[in-house]
Structure 1
Amino acid sequence: QQPRRLICFERVYLEMSSSDSEGESEKGAILKQRLQMFKSRRLTKLTEQKLVCQIIMEQDYLEYIGLAEELLARGWKIITTGLQTSHTDQDLDNNANNEILFPNVQWCSYSKAAWEAVMTGQLITNHYYMRSGIIRKSDLAVLLQTKYHDTMPKSHVGHLSSQIHKKEFIQLIHELVCDDKIWILKPGDSSNANDMHIFNQSTVGKVVEILISTSRESWKVQKYIERPLLSSGVKFHLRAWVLAVGNLKVFLHEQVIALMASKSYNLDDLEDLCVHASNHSVQERAGVQCPTSYLLQDLTEHVDSIPDIQEFNEDGKAEKVKVGGPWSTKIWQQLSKIVRRVFDCASELKHFSRVFKPLPCSFELFGMDAMVDEDGKVWLLEFNCDPDLKVFDAQWQHV
């Protein structure tokens, strides 16, 4: 922040030195020289200044991903408070015994981010201030249906802020199940399959009872993928990691994990989430050991069939295309296309600036969940903030 202020002051002083008075010109020249010397000295100090990361997160999470160790290995200093006195180095002017460390980067939970410092360019943090349009299920569905309606399974969003809205949403649900199709009801702002309900015409009554008694306002009902691609007879979904940086670069990790459900797939019991959900959190809540997961690149050895990959145009019409590379590469390319679509909508639609706003001093890691159907089409399920990296089995630690 100081060099920026210095540049502003220097411009003012240089304008003052343009006076026709010889005395004023001389003073201006001396002042300019002093400013240049001070700026040079200041930049030298900044070069010598330690890179400091403030980490405020759960200890087990830190130990798992090895964040602190990796930063230390690259010459960073780690602090766990806003300021920390180091007893190992002298300060930049060599006139004190201790060094006061101010963080350059803050790695913490969203609620602990120093947003004022981030907004003024003094600190980089691992979150975007506005990103609910991506991480909230209801907002993401609305975001994509305006431009890329075939990216997610067909979805309807309900905001039950009044009894009238609740009644209208319940009426919609009754209409959706008339053709005996299967749907999923999810809260618009939850994760880990909490309060997720799968239903059809015969079980819609339970869902209606939940909506009548709920105090939640945001809900999403989504078409259930009834013909998913299976692995040894069980469902799976893909977890991919997406990194957004600044304003705005987006990266998709080359390694993708396939997470398996714990029970064989069938449509006889829609209430058993161990059949229909492959989230590790679902298995843990049920007291079931999490099944083995696979890397996408190895998935061809474990899926029950390898469908021809189809490319879908913007009208939703399927066209078979020749895509170079192995089958897993074709799946990854579809994931990459989904990521581009999400951030294309989030950054371009002006009326969505309130739910996603890129910031130059922010970056964020998202977990993207997707599912492959029997035709080889990849469907986006959701984006999650603060993704749990523990979905990696011990054998995938190197990833």
Structure 2
Amino acid sequence: MSTKQCSDCSGSYPDDVDGPSRRLAALVSWPAAPLTDSLVRRALTDIGQVEISPSLPTLPLSSKLLQWAAYDTIDHSLTVTEPNRVLSSAYTIRKALIRKHFFARCTRSYILKHPQSVLATSVPRTWDIEMSFAHELDELWHDELWDLGEELETSPGRWYILKPGMADAGMGIRLFNSKDTLREIFEEFEGHSDDEEAESCDTFVITSQLRHFVIQEYVANPLLIDPREFLPGSHVKATERLRGRKFHLRTYVVASGVLRVYMYRRMLALFSCEPYDFPRRGNNESSISLLPHLTNTSLQSRRGEEGVRLFDELIGHHILSGIEGNINLLEPDIADIREQMAQILADVFKAATEQAIHFQPLPNAFELYGVDFLVSHVPSGSHGPRFQVNILEVNAEPAIELTGPRLTWILEDLFKSIQVVCIAPFADGVSDQIDSWKVGEVRHNMQKCLDMQVRGAMGW
């Protein structure tokens, strides 16, 4: 088939645009994420005729357009006005998922309406507040934070974690266990020195520019594992030399249309850079080392294989939390944790659909999220499973480049799966295989977690 160059973009169009199969043009642009850009382009090579352009092309009426690009690059109005011809890689409105304070309100509302939901036990207790200056706490203790204030005064052994509602990369995260410490944290944000910023693990924020914060009850009994155990080249073998580190699970989740949710089965375990220790103050009364507690990859002082592992690679590792003795993480444990995650994800997206103002799925859109979970270790003798999964947050445009070169292959597989599940049915106009995919079933390393019709969704 002969082609002709498009004068409005770097792509080209076939001469016979009125042929039996409509062409697919693709906008691919990730200015701040070159690895994502490369992965998208590689995934699209499995589709027959597709012309890729870094800018929005002008299409013949018989062509389809795929916008697989950064959120700010996508023409969202085109997504809404051309639902039959345009497929985009982000929902236009999804604050209920990706903003921490909106997410807290979303899940809290859902739990109140559905007290039997798995979210009732898998979302840490959360308070969301809006403030700019430390003195505003005086009023909050009598209003939004009155029950938290009661707990701080009667249960000093409990710890809580403060997170800015719209910051990422671990910025602004702090631990506290008293009213005075929380006030000192906000005073630190108001007026800091260069030394204070350096001491805070590069997580300083300016409170007056953020305003929205969430406070969560700190999960003090995380599952602990030494990621060096069985690591190639490591000589750490003996149990007595192992030191447990905290980690969270980064799970890639794809939402498609209105609404199907898929969980990518090859998930990552992201470890803190120091062995875990229960929160305690340093010599400075308001100073608490965050290094044993923060597992965000962008904050680690040492990166590489030691801090980023596949979850499946931890099978057989010694569990270093709890007092049960010499026990290991087994394959059934990982299967149980995965199943808990799938159930949580289903209810999280159900909760979001009940927030019609802040989450609006579209039939001609899909989106990749990085969802973070923390696994806590339930002591022996307790009823139910020995591990409890807690959802921490949902991230749009996850920083996949922090995965590291050793595990880039799973990202290639992930984006190929997205192409098969989300792009191919749009390009080919055939969705029989997707329609027959049952909830719980695994295909292309994706487990379907949810399949529902969101009534009132635009275009449905």
For residues 1-399 of structure 1, what are the structure 2 equivalents within 5 Å? 45=18, 47-58=20-31, 61-62=34-35, 66-75=39-48, 76-83=50-57, 104-120=65-81, 121=83, 122-146=85-109, 147=111, 148-160=119-131, 166-169=137-140, 172=145, 174-178=149-153, 179-180=155-156, 181-201=158-178, 203-210=181-188, 214-215=207-208, 216-232=210-226, 233-266=244-277, 267-269=279-281, 271-283=288-300, 287-290=301-304, 291-305=306-320, 326-347=332-353, 349=354, 352-375=355-378, 376-399=387-410
CA distance in 1, matches of 2:87, 2:26: 9
CA distance in 1, matches of 2:32, 2:71: 16
Compute the displacement of 1:67 (Å): 1.5
Aligned AA (2:367) = E
CA distance in 1, matches of 2:39, 2:360: 29
Compute the displacement of 1:389 (Å): 1.6
Compute the displacement of 1:302 (Å): 2.7
Q: 1:164 to 1:123 in 2, by over 3 A?
A: farther
Q: Which runs of 5+ in 1 are unaligned?
A: 1-42, 86-98, 308-323
1:54 touches 1:106 (CA, 8 Å); kept in 2?
Answer: yes
1:170 touches 1:208 (CA, 8 Å); kept in 2?
Answer: no
Compute the displacement of 1:300 (Å): 2.9
Compute the displacement of 1:248 (Å): 0.7
After superposition, the C-alpha distances for 1:197-240 in whole angstroms (9 at most, x for unaligned) are 11122733422425777312211010111111111211100000
CA distance in 2, matches of 1:163, 1:58: 38
Q: 1:100 to 1:68 in 2, by over 3 A?
A: farther
CA distance in 1, matches of 2:344, 2:332: 19
2:137 touches 2:183 (CA, 8 Å); kept in 1?
Answer: no
| Identity within the alignment, % | 25
After superposition, the C-alpha distances for 1:340-373 in whole angstroms (9 at most, x for unaligned) are 11011111x2xx1111011011110000001011
Question: Equivalent residue of 2:28, what SS?
Answer: strand
Aligned AA (2:212) = S
TM-score by length of 2: 0.64
Cα RMSD (Å) = 3.0
Compute the displacement of 1:62 (Å): 3.7
Q: Which runs of 5+ in 2 are unaligned?
A: 1-15, 112-118, 192-206, 227-243, 282-286, 323-329, 379-386, 411-460
TM-score by length of 1: 0.73
CA distance in 2, matches of 1:100, 1:62: 32
